[in-house]
Structure 1
Amino acid sequence: MKNFSLTYRRFGTAALLIEWPQSISEDILTDIIAFQSAIEKRPPAGLIEIVPTYASLTLFFNELKDFQSTTKKLNFFYDSRISNQSDNKRWIIPVCYEEQFGIDLQEISNTLKVSKQEIIDIHSSQPYRVHFIGFLPGFLYLGGLNSKLHCPRRESPRLRITKGSVGIGGSQTGIYPIDSPGGWNIIGGTPIPLFDSSKTRPCFVRPGDTLKFDPIDQLTYDQINQEIEQGNYAPKVEIL
């Protein structure tokens, strides 16, 4: 596993920010997950929460009395980290790209000068790595969108994006886990709920997992949605 030169600095009065080189990278993601796991196994005193992003970990404490001592301990954890990539899963997420769901698909096709079918084929042809979860409960930050599909966010964000909408914003793609405002271009929709507060694990996906989108038609969407409402559907998963 690749070693990085990390930067440690205070983040407010009771938090510590650990930074990697500022880029979206599979190597950095693997390193962040391994480091976070090492910290969680032997958490420093007073640690409340660890929040990952594309290239950082923020550690929140009840109070951070001794920055130097804590940093020294974290350096030891970093040196002893072990990659846990074998625990990662690949989730197959069904997506309907038909007009009812892909409300911006024609506009993106015009902008990129790529046919709607080619957009669907490219978007669903490769797996996407989950780097972290945030912005909204269950919102997955995914890496790996083909550069042919990079498209600017909408100039005027919508006040309401429907739960399950699959969108493209800049160089990223993702799924809106709940109804919310949003400025991404919507190209499809999935019936799979990515966030359920009634469950022990409200979001079944974890950082390090991958997603692969599986094109479905309206009939299949409705069938899956019915199975979900009846409690008879489980997302398809592959152990990597």
Structure 2
Amino acid sequence: MSLTSDLSYKRYGENSILINWNMEVSPSLVDKIVSFKNQILQEQQKRVQDFIVGYNSLLIVFKEHDLKFSEEVSYLNTLYSKLEVKLKSKYIWEIPVCYDEVFGFDLEQLSKQLHISSEDLIKLHKKQLYTVHFIGFLPGFLYLGGLDKQLHAQRKSTPLLKVPKGAVAIGGEQTGIYPNESAGGWHIIGRTPINFFNVNQDIPCFAKAGDKIQFKEINQDEFTVVERKVAEGSYVLQKTEMHD
């Protein structure tokens, strides 16, 4: 069901509505989705159980199970027509990464697959400024947009059963960081000692949709130093506030 040129609505189970944006995925779309989510939360906080943000979608999970779909869509569409894109401060987070082959054990193989040198692969990967589109798959797993097209690569045909925590990887048209040890089919090109999810903190994941990620190359000795500081709780993650 669609009432505007850039939105479509679908019933998603008994108590959910899926909103899709018929627009190209971009940082400005991230801002629009997050702003709409915040606006709905402000107006309907007592009724909403959860939100799930996607690249070009927003799933609203309501507490009640007897939704009147047409009425809800009409209300949401009216709310969207009054949307003002207002976001909290956004930051560029500097993430230290060691690309040494002891951590980036797929680096050589992926370089051959892409027909570029390992050095050029690293240069292309770390020069980009990546947009955090949403968080999912695992708690603290950032879905990042902005990977150079030269680094797009099909996922592994046989996934690993144990990808190390902090592994920096490429899969398809994306790059990302595994926040915890898990199975995974992306190509591992490095590792960061940074924690991306801490359940004991008020804000478990420091980054949010709309923020940016900048990778900074470090060597093995620097990795060890940062890893120790992270374990001690003394490491301060570098961030820069973004201004539109």
Q: After the TM superposition, which segments of 4 or more aligned residues of structure 1 sit over 6 Å from their partners?
A: none
The equivalent of 1:12 in structure 2 is: 13
The secondary structure found in structure 2 opposite 1:42 is helix
Matches of 1:87 and 1:76, distance apart in 2: 27
Q: Bigger shift: 81-90 or 92-101?
A: 81-90
The change in CA–CA distance for 1:4 and 1:221 in structure 2 (over 3 A counts) is farther
User: Superposed, which structure 2 residues align to 1:129-140 within 5 Å?
Assistant: 129-140=131-142
RMSD, matched Cα: 1.5
Q: Would you say 1:26 and 2:36 are equivalent positions?
A: no
Amino acid at match of 2:122: I
The equivalent of 1:118 in structure 2 is: 120
Q: Would you say 1:61 and 2:59 are equivalent positions?
A: no
The equivalent of 2:178 in structure 1 is: 176
Deviation at 1:81, TM superposition (A): 2.1
Q: Bigger shift: 168-177 or 70-79?
A: 70-79
**1:101-150 deviation digits (Å, cap 9, x = unpaired):** 11000001111111111111110001100000001111110001000111
The secondary structure found in structure 1 opposite 2:196 is coil
Amino acid at match of 1:223: V
Matches of 2:206 and 2:86, distance apart in 1: 17
Amino acid at match of 2:19: I
How many percent identity over aligned positions?
A: 39
**1:38-91 deviation digits (Å, cap 9, x = unpaired):** 112212652101111011100001224322222222122212222235621110
Matches of 2:5 and 2:237, distance apart in 1: 35
The equivalent of 2:215 in structure 1 is: 213
Gaps of 5+ in 2: none
Give TM-score, length-normalised by structure 2: 0.93
Deviation at 1:30, TM superposition (A): 2.1
The secondary structure found in structure 1 opposite 2:35 is helix
Matches of 2:5 and 2:197, distance apart in 1: 33
Gaps of 5+ in 1: none
Give TM-score, length-normalised by structure 1: 0.95
User: Superposed, which structure 2 residues align to 1:9-158 within 5 Å?
Assistant: 9-21=10-22, 23-43=24-44, 45-63=46-64, 64-85=66-87, 87-158=89-160
Aligned residues: 238
Matches of 1:52 and 1:25, distance apart in 2: 14
